[in-house]
Structure 1
Amino acid sequence: MKLRHVTVDCADPYELATFWSGVTGWPVSDQDTPGDDEVLIEAPPPVPGLLFIRVPEGKTVKNRIHFDWQPTERTRDEEVERVIRLGASLYEDHRGPQGRGWVTLLDLEGNEFCIEREAKPVT
């Protein structure tokens, strides 16, 4: 069995997919356009794609599952600032002494996700 997509329910699939495309650097499928009810971000294999699907109800409670991202080209703090510039909002800051910890952010529709510390120092 293979995990093909991670699916996110949302109000505006194209807008949210465009945000996440900016975060990840993965392209929005060239088959998708604004107003579509389903929009796919194509991740590099073997990573599953991110599929955004329009639903009528809004988010009402904390996510039961969320993404934890680890920067590979920037430090955690640089990545947090970059993603905030893309439109994310700071939710909880769990950074501690000696650079430990993570930051929890909200995407454009209030879905929580975390930026963890980079695996090794970025040069």
Structure 2
Amino acid sequence: MASRLANVCLDAHDTFAQAKWWSEVLDDFTFDPADTEPGWNHPGAEESGLVSAEGRHLLFLKVPEDKQVKNRVHPCLRPTDRTRDEEVERLLAHGATLVHDLRDGEKGWAVLADPEGNEFCVLTRRD
């Protein structure tokens, strides 16, 4: 017997703003139109979430404290229709910040942070 990953949760001050930001970053995650649970997916919500066509969930949970240290778990993104560097530039223009640049020509990755400081990596594209 094994387990399957049900969802990934990110702590947030503004769950709806974070979910909206990530829905614009990830082409395969959207707000679930079938989700009518009270308290979800609106400004001021305690929880907001996105779902992919495959049923994977990305949830944002309201917490009072600020992020203090480096994430122990973080998402890694792989661009689908642009180069790694073009994707980094798109995300920076979208409000991400560069945390650590580990790019070396066609190798390596960039560590960015979303508007609330959650780190994520941008890897090279696979053709």
Please state which structure has a larger fraction of its residues in strand. Answer: 2
The equivalent of 2:53 in structure 1 is: 44
The equivalent of 1:18 in structure 2 is: 20
Please state which structure has a larger fraction of its residues in helix. Answer: 1
Q: TM-score, normalised on structure 2?
A: 0.87
Q: Distance in 2 between matches of 1:43 and 1:58?
A: 28
User: Equivalent of 1:103, from 102, 110, 121?
Assistant: 110
Q: Distance in 2 between matches of 1:5 and 1:44?
A: 14
Root-mean-square deviation over aligned CA pairs: 1.3
User: Equivalent of 2:32, from 5, 29, 40?
Assistant: 29
Q: Would you say the 8 A contact 1:28–1:42 is kept in 2?
A: yes
Give the superposition deviation at 1:63. Answer: 0.4
Unpaired runs of 5+ in structure 1? none
- Partner AA of 1:4 in structure 2: A
User: Equivalent of 1:116, from 73, 98, 123?
Assistant: 123
Runs of 4+ with deviation above 3 angstroms: none
Q: TM-score, normalised on structure 1?
A: 0.89
Deviation digits for residues 50-103 of structure 1 (CA, Å, limit 9, x no counterpart): 000101111101100101111111110111111111110011111113x11100
Unpaired runs of 5+ in structure 2? none
The equivalent of 1:79 in structure 2 is: 87
Give the superposition deviation at 1:9. Answer: 1.0
Q: What secondary structure sits across from 1:33 in the alignment?
A: coil
Give the superposition deviation at 1:2. Answer: 2.7
User: Equivalent of 1:88, from 96, 102, 108?
Assistant: 96
> Which stretch of the first structure deviates more once superposed, 22-31 or 5-14?
22-31
Quick check: 1:64 aligned with 2:72? Answer: yes
Task: Report sequence identity in percent.
Answer: 42
